[in-house]
Structure 1
Amino acid sequence: MYETYLNNNFIDALAYYILVLLIILTSPCLFIWELITTIRSCFKPNENVSEKVVLITGASKGIGEFMAYEYAKRGACLSLVSIKEPDSRLEQVADRARELGSPDVIFMFADVSSVEECRMFVDDTVKHFGRLDHLVCNAGVAYLYSTEIDVTKFEPVMDINFWGSVYPTHFAIPHLMETNGKIIVNASVAGVVHPPRGGFYNASKAALIAFYEALRFEVSPTITITILTLGFINTDIITAKYSTHGAGVHLRKDIRAMFPSMEAEPCTKAILDGVCKGATAITEPRFMKATFLINCLFPGLRSYYFNNLFPSDKDD
């Protein structure tokens, strides 16, 4: 048993360092691409979001909360939306956004998986502010699939992650057309590299990417769509145990040691910097772009590595 333990640890370490080596080897290509992107962005004027109206879903915590703060620092007016939960912090987030510089903040409780509630909060935002400039589709859940759990328990994943972005987008488009607005969609690196046990979460994020890549051709150049493919960001999503009425699996407790993560505040600053430059795709942390290439060239290594990040409950 002791020899098996040593062998498993050796294989884990070997797989980890091979992955790190591959990221290092692909770094020159990424550096060149980032350099080209940076040079191109220098010729684009920075959008000033001061006094502009921004609607953010899933704004009570995580990326949505820090996006609200970052927009507030730049003087944007905010409409914050979140599901009503006993521990919701949405009102506190609104107060903090005002303190950081937002001239006007409203907040609403709504379920993004309900088409009528999405219609309501988009209409109420426009009624209050008279316009809409940015729609940030951020609301999402990260329940991870296990074959031992009733498959029907995962219906909310697609309802919230996919339709919860599509519904508000549908109602916001006419208003965004009038302001040459922007849609920011919080997808995930999981929608590209498909980690094991990600099942429905991966599918919901891949569906988001596919939908908005197609939609951009229909609304461009009037509306700019920015798709976010984020890796591990230090929010509740990588620390809490996921459950839908008791269903779900969770991440290893030592995930930060196995895979570098990024703090939410610098992540959202980088996102908004990119959005204001007109970026159509943003990946943070940036080195995660290397995993897209590794996913294509070394799928076996990718699967082995991610399988260690997403153990089943019985292995904990």
Structure 2
Amino acid sequence: MAFFNFFLSVVTHVAIAVFLVAYLPVSLLFRLFAWVFLRPFKKEDLRGKVVLITGASSGIGEKIAYEYARRGASLALVARREKALKVVAGNARSYGAPGVLVLPADIADIEQSRRVVDKTVAHFGQLNHLVANAGIWSCCSFEKITNLTAFNQMMDVNFWGAVYPTYYALPHLKASRGNIIVNTSLAGRFPTANMTLYNASKAAVIRFFETLRSEVGSEIKITILIPGYIESEITKGKGLQNDGNVRIDKKARDVHAPPIPVARPEKLAEAAVESACRGDVYVTWPSWYGPLHILMSLAPEVVNYLSHLRYKKILRATKA
């Protein structure tokens, strides 16, 4: 058995190496051709289309709503804060959205997710894009969490809050051959220290939609947004703290802020909608984060070491 396992391992490694040697040059040439000659002409006209956006009351979701509005799409805006949603709705109309539906709801609740999809289709008669954007952040050492069960809401909002509306929207998106745009995080690809449960929830979202893409095939386009550090309520320090309560912790924000400029959500929204209209499968933004995917794939031990060093730096800073 040991010899068979060794033999199978050697065969597998050799077969994959041969495949990659043959595939990668052809793939790179095709991608270059598509980028130069096909991509500029692949652009969906959003006039007359209907877009449902979760987490639309502020931050990235709000800016994505405005970007869709500028392109003439009708909007169904979903979040828990009705007053803030109404402000966004008014702005969206001024930007050009022909119709805006305000749907206050908690998409971490499966019945409320079903309701917002049903109301959107009943009101507009169709659904063309679903933007799964709602999320909650946490920033604390795993061993310092004092109320672990409270962190169930991390998975409820970040993971199930994307899965539930997708489940109910799927038949309508298949009918319109529509799009799903899901907002994840670079943290879902990297072991960013001090954010264990947040990272895990975002990694689960990425893998879910990658797998769903293999199931729906060409019936629905799925664009996975993988943003870096973007200006939002998160960059203001709002998140789930180690005691299980959501509040603003400016010290945690300052300690975790990377030594690079914080990107504007308007630019991410523009890149997200533009990429979805072209049918792009991934969007890492800002683009300077892109090479980090290669680093994680080829040198994970380096990434883990650097993350550990940063964690020790964070611990020193929080004790100061």
Q: Secondary structure at the match of 1:193?
A: coil
Task: Point out where structure 1 has 5 or more consecutive residues left out of the alignment.
Answer: 1-31
Alpha-carbon RMSD across the aligned residues, in angstroms, is 2.6
Q: What's the offset of the Cα at 1:243?
A: 3.1
TM-score by length of 1: 0.82
Residues 179 and 278 (structure 1), Cα distance of their counterparts in 2 relative to 1, 3 Å cut: same
Contact 1:41–1:277, Cα closer than 8 Å, also in 2: no
Rg larger in 1 or in 2? 2
Residues 123 and 231 (structure 1), Cα distance of their counterparts in 2 relative to 1, 3 Å cut: same
Counterparts of 1:1-316 in structure 2 under 5 Å? 38-39=35-36, 41-42=38-39, 44-84=41-81, 88-146=83-141, 147-149=143-145, 150-243=147-240, 245-246=244-245, 251-253=252-254, 258-296=259-297, 297=299, 298-304=302-308, 306-307=310-311, 311=315, 314-315=318-319
Residues 244-283 of structure 1 deviation map (CA, whole Å, 9 limit, x = unaligned): 5536876442765613331111111011111111101111
- Point out 4+ residue stretches in structure 1 off by more than 4 angstroms: 32-37, 247-250, 254-257, 308-313
Inter-partner Cα distance in structure 1 for 2:226 and 2:140: 20
Residues 96-154 of structure 1 deviation map (CA, whole Å, 9 limit, x = unaligned): 00000000001111111100000000000000000000000000000224322221121
Residues 96 and 33 (structure 1), Cα distance of their counterparts in 2 relative to 1, 3 Å cut: farther
Question: Percent identity, aligned pairs only?
Answer: 39
Contact 1:252–1:309, Cα closer than 8 Å, also in 2: no
Inter-partner Cα distance in structure 1 for 2:33 and 2:201: 31
TM-score by length of 2: 0.81
Inter-partner Cα distance in structure 2 for 1:109 and 1:238: 24
Contact 1:176–1:223, Cα closer than 8 Å, also in 2: yes
Q: Give 2:6's aligned residue.
A: none
Residue identity matched to 1:279: D
Contact 1:229–1:283, Cα closer than 8 Å, also in 2: yes
Q: Secondary structure at the match of 2:279?
A: coil
Inter-partner Cα distance in structure 1 for 2:246 and 2:318: 13
Contact 1:182–1:225, Cα closer than 8 Å, also in 2: yes
Q: What's the offset of the Cα at 1:162?
A: 0.2
Residues 179-237 of structure 1 deviation map (CA, whole Å, 9 limit, x = unaligned): 00000111110000120111111111100111111101111201001111110011111
Inter-partner Cα distance in structure 2 for 1:313 and 1:152: 27
Residues 213 and 300 (structure 1), Cα distance of their counterparts in 2 relative to 1, 3 Å cut: closer
Inter-partner Cα distance in structure 2 for 1:278 and 1:207: 22
Q: What's the offset of the Cα at 1:51?
A: 1.5
Q: What's the offset of the Cα at 1:311?
A: 5.0
Task: Point out where structure 2 has 5 or more consecutive residues left out of the alignment.
Answer: 1-28
Q: Secondary structure at the match of 1:218?
A: helix
Count of matched residue pairs: 284
